[in-house]
Structure 1
Amino acid sequence: MPVNDASLLATVDARTKLAGSNKMEILLFSLGTRETFGINVFKVREVSQTPAITKTPNMPFGVEGVLSLRGNIIPVISLAKFLKGEQVASKYETMIVTEFNKSTQAFLVDSVDRIIRVDWDKVRAPENMMMSNSPAAQQNLITAITELDDGKLVSILDVEQILASVVGEARLPDVPQAQLEQHQYMFFVDDSVVARKEITGVLEKMGVKFQQATNGREAWERLQVLASRNWGEEGNLHDNLKIILVDAEMPEMDGYVLTRLIKSDQRFNGIPVIMHSSLSSNANRAMGSSVGVDAYVAKFDPAVLAETLIPFLQR
């Protein structure tokens, strides 16, 4: 069904019902090619016709300019131009306004199709499918893919990486050092390349050892191995694994289901689970609380992430 304001708002209002259901809702759109793209509805603020864009000098490639939206000045990014790495002649009259990583921006697209609901376990990492002909895949800008009932593939864009590429990566500030024993570490999981790089940078600067995974299912499998390990003289799981840091939206298993599994397994009792997500609204925080997260940190503020981790690491 075509997307309209009513259907989009109804979907957004129903977000909390998806918490822990291992399902996601995707807004499908086109860039004027045969490829179908998608973005998590949780990141979508609205869809509208593109108003007048103000051209500004010295903007990064792919940024068409800025516009005023309800009193706020936001950047307008041409996804087609950014993905193809070249000038695009077509004028895109539809824009998707997104809100994540504490920022608001508009993405120009050719057309918006509809909203679909899929199980996270039907959303796969891109390396599991043949996507080499896609310009987005060639730039590693696809975070996941799924398949429609008619067999057509949907490429879910890593909009966090796109935004980081456009605005640049923030310089890591000074962060507090963690006073841990040699054998102690933390575990984190995130499907975004840029997010894993940023988290790694913070942990290394804090002097924290870590293990990592790229999706919820992989994380759960690795955590099961750790929980089943015979620790011997090293104590127990709780003495070694200090924190589990999870993303909210991930292929194959989302962070809400992963958190619920961890919290229902007595072997992880006392090990805090912190949710680190680009979805920073009160509704998303409430969703995290509903499955038992011990803290919620919005991406990406290195200082806030470090400040959140320190008290849990020092326990």
Structure 2
Amino acid sequence: MSELLKSIDARTKLAGSNKLEMLLFSLGKNELTGREETFGINVFKVREVMRIPEITRAPDMPPSVEGMVSLRGVLVPVVDLIKYVGIQNSKPPQIMIVTEYNGHTQGFLVEGVDTILRIDWSAMKVPPEMLTTQLGGLITAVTELKDGRIVMMMDVEKILAETSSYADDASIALLKPIPIPDRTIFFTDDSVVARKQIEKTLNALGISFIFSTNGKEAWEELQKIANRASATGQKVTDFIQLILTDIEMPEMDGYVLTRHVKSDPRFAGIPVLMHSSLSSDANQHLGRSVGVDGYVPKFEPQKLAETLARLLMSTRQPGT
């Protein structure tokens, strides 16, 4: 199993090439449907894969939270994904995938892991509405393998928001409007939970916004804005003053989107802020290498507010 994740740090070179690597895993055969679905998680977020260690049960936890485990002296919450997804499977989970999001470590219990799949983000498609509805918005992207299997990428941010205080709204309530009127930002994120958090934060700050749900859609919309500005003799900065982007998105990731924006002179003077749960130094370095003007971890509204205020103030025109 250690071979499965060997050289994981070296895989950072894939970022910025619109490619990703997913660790494929199974939650077992659903006894209600007779099907065994294949799920995926970005390798960047996986720290290790192991047999399930001893779990310490804790009272008053959500049904799918099994308890805590001690990993090298650190207590880590453990979520049973089989229970969370609602799969009827009499076999107990066998494997724990240890992940890191925004510096927070957690373990996910699954029946088994398969392999690591390298794929272009353009092959990851927005899930059909029927699938989204069936799984309660849990899937952010899907792709079909050569053997006909459908791989579904989980919205881990949604899982964490519903099983912990990961997306706590209390800090948003403390935010105050920024003293810069008539500011509009464009943001893109494929996670429903993340989009709601961003919207709440921007509303609290008094900032108008336009949004999209993936990188390709974002670039198409940004080009429309730029074309409209050119057609009316205006600048893009008359329409939007900042772009906020996630990293992991189907069809086009945030690195490639940023590169497109920074290479198009029509967007000169518009800062790009990267907003992601990929919290490693390597990811931040990659963001800087494609020209991002700042990096803020997800679900930290105070940091997001401070960074937005600073960047918007720096682009403020005299008299506005």
TM range (shorter): over 0.9
Tell me, yes or no, if structure 1 residue 98 matches structure 2 residue 99: yes
Q: Equivalences for 1:81-96 in 2 at 5 Å? A: 81-84=83-86, 89-96=90-97
Determine the structure 2 residue equivalent to 1:21.
17
Gapped regions of structure 1 (runs ≥ 5): none
Is 1:152 paired with 2:149? yes
**Which one has more relative contact order, counting CA pairs under 8 Å at least 6 apart?**
1
Corresponding residue number in structure 2 for 1:109: 110
1:73–1:178: structure 2 CA closer, same or farther, 3 Å change rule?
A: same
Structure 1 CA distance, aligned partners of 2:237 and 2:310? Answer: 15
**Cα distance, 1:180 vs. partner?**
3.4
1:78 has 2:80 as partner: yes
Q: Following the alignment from structure 1 to structure 2, what is the Cα–Cα distance between the partners of residues 137 and 275?
A: 31
| Cα-to-partner distance string for 1:217-247 (whole Å, 9 max, x where unaligned) | 0000000000111478894212331110000
Name the CA distance, whole Å, in 2 between partners of 1:234 and 1:310: 28
Partners of 2:243 and 2:5 lie apart in 1 by 33
How far residue 14 of structure 1 moved from its aligned partner, in angstroms, is: 2.1
Cross-structure match for 2:269 = 270
What root-mean-square deviation, in Å, do the aligned CA atoms of Structure 1 and Structure 2 show? 1.8
Letter in 1 for 2:53: P
- State the match for 2:174 in structure 1: 174
Q: SS in structure 1 opposite 2:131?
A: coil
* Alpha-carbon distance between aligned partners in 2 of 1:66 and 1:16, rounded to the nearest angstrom: 30
Shift of 1:20: 1.5
1:187 corresponds in structure 2 to: 186
Other-structure match for 1:164: 161
Q: SS state of the match for residue 126, structure 1?
A: coil
Whole-Å separation in 1 of the counterparts to 2:116 and 2:49: 12
1:210 aligns with 2:209: yes
Match of 1:47 in 2: 49
CA deviation map 1:105-148 (0-9, x unaligned): 000000000001011000011126x637xxx8431101111111
Q: Give the alignment of 1:2-13 within 5 angstroms.
A: 4-10=1-7, 12-13=8-9
Q: Deviation digits for residues 258-314 of structure 1, max 9, x if unmatched?
A: 000101001011100010000111111111111111001111101001011101112
How many pairs align? 305
Alignment-derived partner of residue 281 in structure 2: 282
Shift of 1:74: 0.8
CA distance in 1, matches of 2:153, 2:12: 21
User: 1:232/1:29 Cα in 2 relative to 1: closer, same or farther (>3 Å)?
Assistant: closer
Match of 2:61 among 35, 59, 62: 59
Distance of 1:177 and 1:232 partners within structure 2: 33
Residues 21 and 118 in structure 2, CA contact (< 8 A), matched pair in contact too: yes
Map 1:116-265 → 2, pairs under 5 A? 116-127=117-128, 131=131, 137-168=134-165, 169-170=167-168, 171=170, 172-182=172-182, 184-230=183-229, 235-265=234-264
1:60 partner amino acid = P
Q: Percent identity over the alignment? A: 52
2:5 match: secondary structure = helix
Amino acid in structure 2 at the alignment position of 1:58: D
Q: What is the rounded CA distance, in whole Å, between the counterparts of 1:300 and 1:57 in structure 2? A: 26
